[in-house]
């Protein structure tokens, strides 16, 4: 099973990690320069919970945004 929220569909976020070197202009340097650009990913904060789905408890991977907003009904 993928690392995706089963309620809202939130998945991985893809971007770049930028490495810079040098002293900033406002600190008296000649400016910061890009040295390297590396791929970067951020994963959603998923929790395995027992959730009521159509009145029956099921174990789902749910992101913390869905838990906080009350989009799910917990089964204790």
* Domain enclosing residue 21, as ranges: 13-69
Paired strand residues for 68: none
Question: What is the count of structural domains for the chain?
Answer: 1
Asked, for residue 44, whether it belongs to a domain, the answer is: yes
- Give how far Cα 54 sits from Cα of 34, 51, 64, 75, Å: 52, 10, 21, 12
Residue 32 inside a domain? The answer is yes
* pLDDT value for 2: 85
pLDDT tens, position by position, 30-39: 999 999 999 9
Q: Tell me, what's the pLDDT at 1?
A: 57
Q: What is the pLDDT of residues 1-31, one digit of tens each?
A: 589 999 999 999 999 999 999 999 999 999 9
Summarize pLDDT for 41-63 with one digit per residue, the tens. Answer: 999 999 999 999 999 999 999 99
Tell me, yes or no, whether 74 lies in a domain: no
């Amino acid at each position: 099973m993928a690392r995706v929220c089963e309620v809202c569909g939130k998945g991985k976020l893809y971007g770049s990690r930028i490495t810079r070197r040098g002293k900033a202009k406002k600190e008296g340097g000649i400016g910061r320069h890009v040295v390297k650009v590396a791929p970067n990913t951020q994963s959603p904060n998923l929790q395995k919970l027992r959730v009521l789905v159509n009145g029956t408890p099921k174990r789902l991977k749910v992101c913390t945004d869905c838990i906080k907003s009350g989009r799910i009904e917990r089964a204790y």
